[in-house]
Amino acid sequence: MRHTLSALGLILLAGPLAATSAMADTFRFTAIPDEDESRLVERFTKVADYLEEQLGVDVEYVPVKSYGAAVTAFRNNQVQLAWFGGLSGVQARRLVPDSVALAQGAEDAAFTSYFIAHDSTGLESGDELPDAVEGMTFTFGAKTSTSGRLMPEHYLRQRFGADPEETFSRVGFSGDHSRTIALVEAGTYDIGAVNFSVWDAAVEDGRVDTDKVQIIWTTPSYPDYQWTLRGDADERFGDGFTDDVRQVLLDMTDPELLASFPRSGFIPADNSMYAPIEEVAENLGLVR
């Protein structure tokens, strides 16, 4: 397997035509940077090895620095496959005609976000967000994160009938879920919204001090992460390549690979499953 490209290297590529001619012999994929980069590189380098072995083509994982960079790399054909969140997948498929959601984690059909709070707030777990959160400080994750921004903001607006900036005294964007946890644990923000799977994995690994930060509310479920493949993959890599990639993803059963996501397995997905995400994103002005 080839070495991963730097994010800077991606940016310097001239565009779709240059990318296609320069990289036509290698199948490349990326993933939204929802955790710190070292954990992502470790995770997806192993996934690249698996894909290369199963597909019989050179495979390379391309790290990116932001959710937007993942979508841009996909649009520019610098990667052909991506592990997107719900919103970033919608954005990418709108930009690249005929692109398809191939598979999602078994947990992604009914994903949730946790609202977490620093112990000093005195907030406790409940069936809804209490009125007491008003006037506190709050951080989302990345600006285009489904579980760290889109759906939490949707539910906040439903609960309080106002923009988050009107509900809280200060609103921030941490950039990723791990950072959200760290900021709330440190007391930099009173409350934050975080992907449930990142939180659960961090707690299990002992990376969270649950005496300082705890869950106060769990959102209703929604569809989230998925593998999306460009619509021209068969033209580039051969007839039936799309079906082959889908099957290889569905056949990923190695417990070590799955635990790194973390997912219990992958199940079939299609674009229609993400219509609720698209609707919310349109309502919030996050897609056009």
Whole-prediction pTM: 0.81
Interatomic CA distance for residues 180 and 164, integer angstroms = 16
Between the CA of residue 162 and those of 79, 133, 155, 242, what are the distances in Å? 39, 13, 11, 43
Note the pLDDT of residue 24: 52
Contact 177, 193 (CB under 8 A): no
CATH 3.40.190.10 is the classification of domain 7-108+223-283: yes
> Given pLDDT bands bounded at 50, 70 and 90, which one contains residue 156?
very high
User: pLDDT by residue (tens digit) across 207-216?
Assistant: 999 999 999 9
Q: What percent of the chain has pLDDT over 70?
A: 91
Instruction: Please state, as a whole number, how many other Cβ atoms lie within 10 Å of the Cβ of residue 13.
Output: 16
What is the assigned CATH class of domain 112-218? alpha beta
Contacts of 73 (CB under 8 A, 6+ apart): 10, 30, 62, 64, 79, 82
Where are the CATH 3.40.190.10 domain residues in the chain?
Answer: 7-108+223-283, 112-218
In the predicted structure, residue 190 carries a pLDDT above the cut 90: yes
Q: Rounded mean pLDDT of 10-32?
A: 60
User: pLDDT by residue (tens digit) across 238-288?
Assistant: 999 999 999 999 999 999 899 878 899 999 999 999 999 999 999 888 887
> Given pLDDT bands bounded at 50, 70 and 90, which one contains residue 42?
confident
In the predicted structure, residue 170 carries a pLDDT above the cut 90: yes
Q: Rounded mean pLDDT of 34-51?
A: 85
